Amino acid sequence: MSWKLKKSRLDLLARERGAIRKVWGNALTVCLAYPNVYRTGMSNLGFQTVYALINGRPDCLCERIFLPDPDREAAAPAPPISLESQKPPADFDLVAFSLSFENDYPNILAMLAAAGIPLLAAERGEQDPIVIGGGIAATLNPEPLADFFDLFLLGEAEALLPDFLDATVALRRSLSREAYLARIQESVPGAYGPRFYQVVYDQAGRIVSRTPLAPAYPQRIVRRFAADIDAFATDQVITTDDTELGGMFLTEVSRGCPRGCRFCAAGFVCRPVRFRSARTLEGSIQKGLAQGKAIGLLGTAVSDHPALLPLCRSILERGGNVAIGSLRLDRLDAETAEILNKTGVETVSLAPEAGSQRLRNVIHKGISEAEIDAAVDKLLEYGIVRLRLYFMVGLPTETDEDVEAIVRLVKGIGHRVRSASEGKKGFRRLTLSINQFIPKPATPFQWHPLEEVAAVKKKLRRMVAALRGEPAVKVIHDLPKWNYIQALLSRGDRRVGKLLLAVHRLSGNWAQALREMNFNPDFYVYRPKETGEILPWDFIDQGCEKAILEREYRQALSGDILKETQT
């Protein structure tokens, strides 16, 4: 083992508060892997939650591993080791990946290869750890990774992990690898072993059938969810300044969203909406205040929390500070703006998503231009002049007029921001963040194609040029070519795994991998899907009937957008 690598792990541990270090013995050992660098992984509350859940059991031991950070690690590659005991991943019973973002998928193969673990699940032997995956990306569609994982755990960790760990502690060391995996597939709802299901395709490449290989295996995998999130706290276990959110103590206030935006997976996969009570949150708030951290309130519907403003006032009255990631425009009233002002927040993020009312209705955003203007004016009134606005391009039914509507709306807001700034020079005060719409599984737009890269580039150039003369506005946007890859990894089936393997072999060269393979990625990305066809992720029961998604999709495309249906 490299002493320099070991020292870097010990240095990270020394700067942490809350890390759990257990003595190795007879406990089930789990290497919890995040397929990105430490500063990103340790900002992920789900990752920390799983770490705490596993280590909270006396019969389990969990340690962490991350993708090497080029800014911190030595130039020469070295075998990976865990943070807590500096052991290689191959020494653990399980290697568990936390999967939040599709673009991290190539990093999974890199980490397995560096650890000396066979990439393909079919090639692993009795001496190799069981490789499992969980998280929102896997819950939406695990199929592009099917060749590389022994098991996926689909759903929320608090609901699923106890059952899985009970079974694994009882069975793993008494059964062969194959027998253990089969028993988990049979007995643990939410567990999914790809090897136990056969997928058949037709000549056009569409899925014809998906069949369990034994009667004991369920036809559909149920996504697990925790009905009562007041039964536990989901907050930061480990605090350190070496993360992207180092100044905050993170706590989750809600799950799911009642709004039903048609592009948003969280609004459908994380149903039903659940709010954690102020009573339950009090313990998290006290922990964060004791550490002198700002309390970061996280969730997919933070603005809709019925006790949001009393919570914020309580934190401020005790000398603390509050951070809220994003606010619903229609919930931003004078009281909210006043509290934001008292927190000393410098930038507030707002998400109109689309420039025209017609397109906001198509995506079921549920806000009007009058509400956008009122929210901006209220923030400016209370001295908050740095705003970040999120918009999407490439939405279903989008026209040139809709793109021009973004420009007009931003120019109008920019003018008001500039006026409120009283001519002060320096930084630009309005950041326009433009992201390409990527149709996600388990949403009403899952059948819709991604807009072609060339068309998106043209729209981005048009908006950048139109706003170039606006002194208060700064435009940022993502790269369309990487959106294409994300869409491919999000919407693909098992055959996409062969492309991932080629990309790994070619050190990340996607273009060369696509040239070498007899593979048409446009089939997954640009092809409109029929509502009657079998989609790669249809075997997952997300708790929302496919008929509801289809109804929402047809309504969005019909033009009959004045008669929105509540789902």
First-to-last alpha carbon distance for the chain, in angstroms, is 56
At 246 the pLDDT is 86
Question: What confidence tens digit (pLDDT) does each residue in 80-119 have?
Answer: 999 999 999 999 999 999 999 999 999 999 999 999 999 9
At 425 the pLDDT is 54
Q: Is residue 130 predicted with pLDDT exceeding 70?
A: yes
Amino acid making up residue 420: A
Question: What confidence tens digit (pLDDT) does each residue in 509-539 have?
Answer: 999 999 999 889 999 999 999 999 999 999 9
At 421 the pLDDT is 74
Q: Judge whether 529 and 553 are in contact, CB under 8 Å.
A: no
| pTM recorded for the entire structure | 0.95
Report how far residue 365's alpha carbon sits from residue 257's, in angstroms, rounded to the nearest whole number: 12
Helix (H, G, I), strand (E, B) or coil at 236: coil
Question: What confidence tens digit (pLDDT) does each residue in 335-366 have?
Answer: 999 999 999 888 899 999 999 999 999 999 99
What CATH number labels 3-222?
A: 3.40.50.280
Amino acid making up residue 69: D
Q: Is residue 74 predicted with pLDDT exceeding 90?
A: no
The secondary element (H helix, E strand) that includes residue 65 is strand 60-66
How open is the CA angle 558-559-561, to the nearest 5 degrees?
Answer: 110
At 560 the pLDDT is 63
Q: Is residue 426 predicted with pLDDT exceeding 90?
A: no
Q: Judge whether 180 and 163 are in contact, CB under 8 Å.
A: no
Question: What confidence tens digit (pLDDT) does each residue in 462-501 have?
Answer: 999 999 988 889 999 988 989 999 999 999 999 999 999 9
At 567 the pLDDT is 36
Q: Give the CA dihedral 163, 168, 169, 174, nearest 10 degrees.
A: 140
Question: What confidence tens digit (pLDDT) does each residue in 259-313 have?
Answer: 999 999 988 999 899 999 999 999 999 999 999 999 999 998 899 999 999 999 9
Top-confidence residue, 216 or 301:
216
Q: pLDDT band at residue 397, thresholds of 50, 70 and 90?
A: very high
- Token look-up 């996409």 returns 496
Q: What is the mean pLDDT of the chain?
A: 93
Question: What confidence tens digit (pLDDT) does each residue in 219-251 have?
Answer: 999 999 999 999 999 999 999 999 988 889 999
Residue 436 CA: distances (Å) to CA of 200, 207, 316, 450, 524: 32, 27, 37, 9, 17
Q: Judge whether 277 and 324 are in contact, CB under 8 Å.
A: no
Q: Which CATH fold topology does 346-546 show?
A: Transcription Regulator spoIIAA (3.30.750)
- Token look-up 């549920």 returns 366
At 271 the pLDDT is 87
At 417 the pLDDT is 85
Residues with Cβ within 8 Å of 517's Cβ and at least 6 positions away in sequence, in order, are 498, 499, 502
Residues with Cβ within 8 Å of 177's Cβ and at least 6 positions away in sequence, in order, are 124, 125, 126, 128, 130, 150
Report how far residue 145's alpha carbon sits from residue 218's, in angstroms, rounded to the nearest whole number: 20
Q: Where are the beta strands (DSSP E) in 397-492?
A: 430-436, 473-477
- Classify residue 190 as left (phi > 0), alpha (psi -120 to 50) or beta: left
At 424 the pLDDT is 58
Q: Judge whether 490 and 441 are in contact, CB under 8 Å.
A: yes
Amino acid making up residue 234: T
The secondary element (H helix, E strand) that includes residue 98 is strand 94-98
Q: Judge whether 91 and 57 are in contact, CB under 8 Å.
A: no
Q: How is residue 400 written in tokens?
A: 């040139």
| Domain boundaries, given as residue ranges, for the chain | 3-222, 346-546
**Beta-carbon count within 10 A of 49 CB:** 22
Q: pLDDT band at residue 215, thresholds of 50, 70 and 90?
A: very high
Average pLDDT over residues 371-398: 94
Q: Is residue 77 predicted with pLDDT exceeding 80?
A: no
Average pLDDT over residues 307-331: 92
Candidate ranges 12-21, 317-326, 426-435; pick with highest mean pLDDT: 12-21
Pairing of strands 294-298, 221-222: unpaired
At 42 the pLDDT is 96
Percent of the chain beyond pLDDT 90? 85
Helices (H), 128-260: 136-140, 157-171, 177-187
At 563 the pLDDT is 46
At 419 the pLDDT is 83
At 385 the pLDDT is 87
Q: How is residue 411 written in tokens?
A: 């120019």
Q: pLDDT band at residue 423, thresholds of 50, 70 and 90?
A: low
Report how far residue 554's alpha carbon sits from residue 25's, in angstroms, rounded to the nearest whole number: 57
Q: Is residue 565 predicted with pLDDT exceeding 50?
A: no
Q: Where are the beta strands (DSSP E) in 204-259?
A: 207-212, 221-222, 248-252, 254-255
The secondary element (H helix, E strand) that includes residue 197 is strand 197-201
Helix (H, G, I), strand (E, B) or coil at 559: coil
Report how far residue 37's alpha carbon sits from residue 355's, in angstroms, rounded to the nearest whole number: 35
- Token look-up 């706590």 returns 251
At 429 the pLDDT is 82
**Alpha-carbon Rg of the chain, whole angstroms?**
24
At 295 the pLDDT is 96
Top-confidence residue, 44 or 471:
44
At 76 the pLDDT is 46
Q: pLDDT band at residue 1, thresholds of 50, 70 and 90?
A: low
Report how far residue 276's alpha carbon sits from residue 302's, in angstroms, rounded to the nearest whole number: 10
Q: Judge whether 235 and 287 are in contact, CB under 8 Å.
A: yes
Q: How is residue 547 written in tokens?
A: 């008929």
Q: Judge whether 42 and 12 are in contact, CB under 8 Å.
A: no
Report how far residue 486's alpha carbon sits from residue 489's, in angstroms, rounded to the nearest whole number: 5
